[in-house]
A and B are shown apart, each in its own frame.
Chain A
Amino acid sequence: MNASVLEELYRQQGPAVLRRARQILRDEEEARDVLQEIFLSLANQPTFEERRQTTAWFYVRTTNYCLNKLRDGKNRARLRAERGRDLPAATPARGESFTVAREVLARLPERLAEVAVYYYCDEMTQDEIGVLIGCSARYVGELVERVRRQMATVDRVASTASGGRS
């Protein structure tokens, strides 16, 4: 890809890519690595074809990339260690930071984790999420409901566990 096109994309999309990586990974160094990896992978492509929905493309690309990283063994071990210290596993209210749910994210099925990030971190409407992942808003509603149920389950388990320790 032409260097000036890449620079322009980086200037426009870099802040959102870094924000998303920080939200999911909660590790500054890893988030910056993701930022570089996403754009370096584009540098090896002859063209960038997703021009009409460029921002949406970067949201999807970065979210999937970070969720994959979250699922790898090293990160899961780190998350377990953090959970062991004192992080609550409460269901996040709409608009709150998603920090508390990273362990849940790592365990959710791929599609549910993706929907959870768009719904809670980005506060997207079900219509917006439907366009991004290629399904109806109604189906997105069902997915969001499944995310809520799974988070509530984790919350109950965590409450029981912390009650047992005190």
Chain B
Amino acid sequence: MNSRLRIAETYNYFKKRKKENLFIGSLLFISGAIASSVGIIHLFNSLLNDGYSIYTFNSLIADILYSAILILPGIVLFSIGYLLWETHSLGWKLSIATCGMAALLAVANYVNIGFALPIGVLSGLAAILEIRRRRTSISNLKDSPLATENLAKFGLRLSGLVCMSILIGMIVYITVRASPYISWNLFTSTNWSWQNAAKVLNGVSSGSMGGLLGYTLGSLLLVGVCEFIALPLGLGAAIYLSEYASQNKLTSIVRFFIETLAGIPSVIIGLVGYGVFVVGMAHWGNSLIGGGLALAFMILPWNIRIAEEAMKSVPGSYREASFALGATQWQTVRRAVLFAALPGIITGVLLGVGAALGETIVVAMTAGDAGGSRVLPNLSQILALHTNIPSLTVFIWRAPQLLSLYTDHQTNTLVFKMYGVALAGSFVLIVIYLAICAIALAARNYLNKKITGK
């Protein structure tokens, strides 16, 4: 009711001022049209151009992005002009936005001064006129809240969509770029050799490059060892902090140190792990145990936080009911609290596993580089010290460098292909990571439903 009244008022007010609106709107309209036409011409040119030989897919993406940068402000100017024609209230904020758009367009078009000039002049003029009009017009009528509201809502929604499109865009890009190298073999066979891969890239030998199963298993083993240490330790600490400890100086100190541990950059943990396990006191060399321990230091605070939060959100009545039945504290924790907190704990721990799987520098410093080992060592070797454990993340990091060791002369095409191989490794990692995330999120939904009984 109220908002409808306000719309009517605004509409009546601006109906009287239609002439100025029309004029400024047309200015913006024209400059918007010129601006978008530049982008559209650029887009057509790039789509029709068949001169690409290398970097084809990349340059196509870049062209589309560039055209979008040219077209989008044009469309915004266009729609602002349209709104003015429809005699909507815009206010000085939008005038400044218009100025900004004009500046952006002028910058994007600086190579093409013939286009930049009219756009800049027209939209600048429109903005100046709009600002002057706002100043001279009745100042007690503020900018219509509705226009600001809608604009704000639009901007906010856009930022939400940007978050989603970043993730989806990355996944799609990796899939497309890695597609020449993706095969069933990549997931299932363990015979990866850099020499062979470089030969295949060069076209010297045909056939498949081999698979990354060795690297995948290495990554999973490392995370397994890491959680074997970090999960009991983290759960124990979380149970103590949320169920046993009272709020005093000691627990607040413990919490502070947990946060500090969480804040320690992974490269420091890797460096200390390198110093202690690989070359330092223990002198283990690269090993599964060292890598797993270093990863466990990294993932421990995450586990504690997740488990503590999950247990804190269990209602107090569960505990009281259990105590009333005569259970001891430990029985209460084990049977009532842990059970109710299970969905949260499982989800959080699985997400932590995903994060540990993507950890590179700690693994590279403690568990070994990707160069030396090509296949997964057998079981007795894995558990021994001084063994390089291959892992996917280090594979991705090192792939272009290691491939270039086995090629004599590097053309742009070859470098492009090398990064394609690295992206194929990323594809394998992402498939595993997304699967873990999907299981985690599905488990939360399923268990939440099951436990709450809805």
Verify that A and B bind, or say they do not: no
